[in-house]
Amino acid sequence: MPTTVPGHPEDTVPAHTEDAADRRAALADVTATDAALRRFLHGLPGVDAVGLQERAAALGTRSVKTTAKAYAIDLAVSMIDLTTLEGADTPGKVRALCAKGANPDPTDRSVPRVAAICVYPDMVATAKDALAGTGIKVASVATAFPAGRAALPVKLADVAAAVAAGADEVDMVIDRGAFLAGRYLAVFEEIRQVREACARADGTAAHLKVIFETGELETYDNVRRASWLAMLAGADFIKTSTGKVAVNATPPVTLLMLQAVRDFRATTGVQVGVKPAGGIRTTKDAIRYLVLVGETAGEDWLTPEWFRFGASSLLNDLLMQRQKLRTGRYSGPDYVTVD
């Protein structure tokens, strides 16, 4: 099992260690052929959709107040991948976002830093320079994000460029068309090759987050299959969404993915992180997800090493709610910057 020590995500021993590789190798027969992989994925227990939704709804009613709420807010801030993924992104906008991630509230230095800043590959060098010395990771989307409609060599070049520019983490998108057509081994091989492209010259590797775009996967059973497929292929994180489609992260889907990483660790000894992304905008939303993590996967996942929020606007609401707890009043939306 990967070892973690207190502190920032850089203190994590990555999931791609020799021990983890050996454990994954024990499942090599599962991925030896397309037929074997299909048998395994379709042999996973079917998802009780009603039960899953009811469980997610019930956990969403948990009340978290006062001291526990203050702790949850700070934890959520520390788990954010603060994101800008727009065609109009500029170096100035990226530097401003990095400054906000490093010092979310200039009036209160006790606010934690965010976990990462997530940008397009061409902005990685700018973010890396702006975040020097902060300990904040630079994450880069790649593989022809968000649609993933490109030839594999193009996708691998996209990843290699991001890593060469200094990306600490790579967020790839799976080929949903191939997955929905049942071409599971093709998806597996693409993830595996992207993982190899995350390698650096010094022998280390950028962490790989695999995005499913769950809003396009049609069924909960497909989400479970995609989760296991990505983990078998070597994902360090599994991620719900790009944030670029109508349906992004939802509590039931995230609950299902948390069950998958819990069961995968029980089977292989390998711990994999989870990242819901898209549509998580309020403190209430964030706390609901933290309850899902604690009640489903367990406390081992309640750290930035193993759980992230992909968000662009969540941080502002967390800061306003934090200020309300601290002072007893809201300062209004002008208390935070508009990104």
Token pair, residue 233, equals 């292929």
- The answer as to whether 337 is a domain residue is no
- The answer as to whether 8 is a domain residue is no
Q: What is the rounded average pLDDT of the residues 244-273?
A: 95
Cα 304 to Cα 102: distance, rounded to the nearest angstrom: 15
- The answer as to whether 336 is a domain residue is no
CATH number of the domain at 108, please. 3.20.20.70
Q: Active-site positions?
A: 171, 239, 275
Q: DSSP class of residue 239?
A: E
Total domains, the chain: 1
Tell me the pLDDT tens digit for each residue of 49-107: 999 999 999 998 888 888 899 999 999 999 999 999 999 999 999 999 999 999 999 98
Tell me the pLDDT tens digit for each residue of 181-208: 999 999 999 999 999 999 998 999 999 9
- The answer as to whether 204 is a domain residue is yes
How confident is the prediction for the chain on average, in pLDDT? 91
Domain that holds residue 44: 14-328
Q: pLDDT tier at 39 (50, 70, 90 boundaries)?
A: very high
- The answer as to whether 338 is a domain residue is no
What's the pLDDT at 28?
77
Tell me the pLDDT tens digit for each residue of 291-326: 999 999 999 999 999 999 999 899 999 999 999 988
- The answer as to whether 207 is a domain residue is yes
Q: 158 in helix, strand or coil?
A: helix
- The answer as to whether 334 is a domain residue is no
- The answer as to whether 5 is a domain residue is no
Q: pLDDT tier at 19 (50, 70, 90 boundaries)?
A: low
What's the pLDDT at 17?
46
What's the pLDDT at 13?
37
Beta bridge partners of 116: 81, 137
More confident residue, 234 or 17: 234
Rounded to 10°, the helix 34-42/184-197 angle is 100
By C-alpha distance, which of 119, 161, 160 is closest to 136? 119
